[in-house]
């Protein structure tokens, strides 16, 4: 066998030893999203008008209001169920096996989860549908039928997807991690491809509905294969009515996650609906596309750190100097990749000025764009600090995130009301650089090092 073949074989074995199937599917989902992002941007610019682009990104930002309903419950469900997940197993016919006590407990837990997510799905539709309709109707740039009907349909479908996600979180907690990650990849890929195809076929804002139909259908087909076990749990009779106490078991785990998620919405997602309401759909669309590019860049760069989370956690107590070196190098690499990505965006904008000048009209001007592209650099640094704290089993950044959220929201409202999207971009970057990072550094000083193993 040739040397290149041997080398490839060794690399493949090493990769497989590090990447379990669940992690591989998770990474595949991230990579697919990164690849699809530039295609989506180009097709949105080519097949939607500037006004439609504003409605397009505003609808997605309205759907992001799910954070106010879910509040990190999915992660808590995975933890609570997974805590006793080793006591059950899945048979070849997708039936649950275990002792009568654990099956009784699992049945009671799933009934509560199904009830929680059922209420959440209904509440999301009842609250978000009218709020979104009021926001979208505040501008008369398009005939109401072209955006209100698709919006109501997509909120309805998204509500169904909320319930599906709750069941998927439950299944992941029972040990079906690889299967859940694969299903999430397939449903996400189906939704993304359906979105592009619908846009290419001039479906306009209905493309969001078609995308959500694809996502819900693929995930629904997968969940249907577990119907026997799931319906069995719903119909089972259990005397353990206190299987999970929200106050005693869920709330202590959820409140920090909930505050972080709520802060994250105001730090990262509130710009587009505020711009839509105060400045109109065109500026909202420009900001939406800029944030989409920035988000893809952040996802790509922070993967250099998050991919090493397991290794960093293992090294934190056993090899602290090596742990610090690895984290420092990974953080610098992530920040460097973000900076290189920002430079690439700058070069692309210069080139597009000559080859596709109309595309630049869909973005913020070059200066504000560079401010938005600087956000992933700051994000890489802040996230690296958070990963350090988590490896020490601490999370002191909740209040830093909340203060940052208040400052970002204040600047966003002021610049949208008194200035424009460009001023908002500069203000956003300034708050993150001058307030968020110093707060993170201050919070990091309170992290206590784990004792040596």
- Candidates 50, 57, 59; CA nearest to 136 is 59
Q: Which two tokens stand for residue 343?
A: 């430079």
State the total domains in the chain: 2
pLDDT at 79: 84
Task: Find out whether 341 and 297 touch, Cβ atoms under 8 Å.
Answer: yes
pLDDT above 50 (res 139): yes
Q: Length of the chain in residues, anyone? A: 453
Task: Kindly indicate the confidence band of residue 85, based on its pLDDT and cuts at 50, 70 and 90.
Answer: confident
In a domain, 54, yes or no: yes
102 lies in the same domain as 76: yes
Task: Please give the C-alpha separations between residue 279 and each of 36, 336, 388, in angstroms, as whole numbers.
Answer: 29, 34, 40
CA 293 to chain centre: 14
Residue 38 sits in which domain range? 20-243
Q: What are phi and psi of 90, to 5 degrees?
A: -110, 130
Residues 6+ apart with CB under 8 A from 448: 392, 394
Beta-carbon contacts of 196 under 8 Å, excluding residues fewer than 6 positions away, are: 36, 39, 40, 43
309: three-class secondary structure by DSSP = helix
Q: Are residues 33 and 81 in the same domain?
A: yes
Q: Who wins on pLDDT, 377 or 233?
A: 377
In a domain, 395, yes or no: yes
8 domain-assigned: no
Could you tell me if residue 439 is inside a domain? yes
Kindly state whether residues 353 and 274 are assigned to the same domain.
yes
What residue has token string 């199937």?
21
Residues 366 and 230 placed together within one structural domain of the fold: no
355 located within any domain: yes
* Mean predicted confidence (pLDDT) in 353-372: 97
Which pLDDT tens digit goes with each residue over 251-280?
777 788 889 889 999 999 999 999 999 999
- How far is Cα 340 from Cα 36, in angstroms, rounded to an integer? 20
Residue 308 has pLDDT above 50, yes or no: yes
**Residue after which a domain boundary falls, among 176, 208, 243:** 243
Q: Which helix (H) or strand (E) holds 134?
A: helix 100-137
Q: In terms of pTM, does the model score above 0.75?
A: yes
Residue 133 CB neighbour total at 10 angstroms: 17
pLDDT digits (tens, 9 = 90+) for 233-254: 888 766 555 566 777 767 777 7
Q: What is the pLDDT of residues 64-84, one digit of tens each?
A: 999 999 988 888 888 888 877
**How confident is the model at residue 452, as a pLDDT?**
65
Q: How far is Cα 257 from Cα 265, in angstroms, rounded to an integer?
A: 12
- 355 and 250 fall within a common domain: yes
- Helix H or strand E segment including 89: strand 89-90
The share of the chain scoring above pLDDT 70, in percent, equals 93
Q: How confident is the model at residue 133 (pLDDT cuts 50, 70, 90)?
A: very high
Residues 326 and 432 in one domain: yes
Residue 5 exposure: Cα atoms within 13 Å on the Cβ side = 2
The overall average pLDDT reported for the chain is: 90
CA–CA separation, 109 and 112 (whole Å): 5
- pLDDT one-digit tens code per residue, 386-420: 999 988 888 899 999 999 999 999 999 999 999 99
Residue 15, in any domain of the structure: no
* 161-178 per-position pLDDT tens digit: 999 999 999 999 998 989
Asked if residue 440 and residue 340 are part of one domain, the reply reads: yes
Residues 184 and 296 in one domain: no
Secondary structure tally for the chain: helices H, strands E: 20, 2
Parallel, antiparallel or unpaired: strands 89-90 and 96-97: antiparallel
Q: What percent of the chain has pLDDT over 90?
A: 66
CA distance 161 to 175: 21
Domain identity same for 364 and 375 = yes
- In this structure, the answer to whether residues 375 and 314 fall within a common structural domain is yes
Domain boundary among 226, 243, 260: 243
To which residue do tokens 């819900």 refer? 216
Provide the pLDDT for residue 22: 73
Higher pLDDT, 74 or 19: 74
- Choose the final residue of a domain: 243, 271, 295: 243
Tens of pLDDT, residues 324-361: 999 999 999 999 999 999 999 999 999 999 999 999 99
* Cα gap 416→286, rounded to integer Å: 13
272 with 419, same domain? yes
Q: Is 82 domain-assigned?
A: yes
């Amino acid at each position: 066998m040739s040397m290149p073949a041997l080398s490839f074989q060794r690399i493949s074995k090493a990769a497989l030893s590090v990447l379990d199937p669940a992690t591989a599917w998770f990474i595949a989902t991230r990579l697919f999203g990164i690849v699809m992002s530039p295609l989506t941007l180009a097709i949105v610019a080519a097949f939607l008008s500037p006004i439609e682009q504003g409605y397009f990104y505003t609808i997605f930002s309205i759907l992001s209001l799910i954070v106010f309903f879910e509040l990190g419950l999915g992660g808590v469900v995975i933890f609570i169920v997974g805590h006793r997940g080793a006591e059950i197993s899945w048979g070849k016919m997708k039936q649950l096996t275990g002792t009568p006590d654990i099956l009784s407990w699992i049945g009671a837990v799933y009934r509560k989860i199904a009830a929680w997510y059922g209420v959440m799905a209904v509440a999301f539709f009842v609250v978000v549908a009218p709020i979104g309709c009021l926001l979208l109707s505040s501008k008369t740039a398009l005939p109401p039928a072209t955006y209100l009907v698709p919006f109501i349909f997509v909120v309805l479908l998204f509500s169904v997807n909320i319930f599906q996600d709750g069941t998927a979180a439950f299944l992941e907690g029972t040990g079906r991690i690889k299967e859940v990650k694969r299903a999430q990849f397939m449903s996400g890929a189906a939704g993304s491809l359906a979105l592009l195809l619908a846009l290419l076929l001039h479906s306009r804002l209905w493309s969001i509905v078609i995308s959500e139909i694809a996502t819900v259908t693929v995930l629904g087909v997968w969940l249907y294969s577990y119907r026997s076990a799931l319906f069995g749990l719903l119909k089972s009779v259990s005397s353990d009515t206190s299987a999970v106490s929200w106050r005693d078991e869920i709330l202590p785990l959820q409140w920090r996650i909930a505050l972080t998620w709520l802060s994250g919405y105001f730090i990262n997602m509130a710009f587009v609906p505020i711009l839509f309401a105060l400045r109109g759909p065109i500026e909202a669309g420009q900001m939406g596309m800029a944030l989409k590019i920035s988000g893809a860049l952040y996802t790509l760069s922070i993967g250099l750190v998050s991919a090493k989370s397991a290794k960093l956690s293992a090294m934190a107590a056993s090899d602290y100097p090596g742990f610090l070196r690895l984290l420092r190098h990974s953080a610098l690499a992530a920040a460097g990749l973000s900076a290189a990505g920002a430079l690439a965006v700058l070069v692309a904008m210069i080139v597009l000025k000559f080859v596709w000048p109309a595309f630049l009209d869909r973005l913020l001007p070059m200066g504000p764009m560079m401010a938005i592209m600087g956000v992933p650099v700051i994000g890489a640094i802040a996230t690296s600090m958070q990963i350090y704290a988590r490896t020490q089993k601490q999370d002191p950044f909740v209040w830093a995130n909340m203060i940052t959220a208040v400052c970002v929201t204040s600047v966003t409202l002021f610049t949208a009301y008194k200035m424009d999207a460009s001023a908002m971009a500069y203000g956003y970057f300034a708050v993150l650089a001058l307030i968020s990072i110093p707060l993170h550094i201050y919070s990091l000083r309170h992290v206590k090092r784990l004792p040596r193993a």
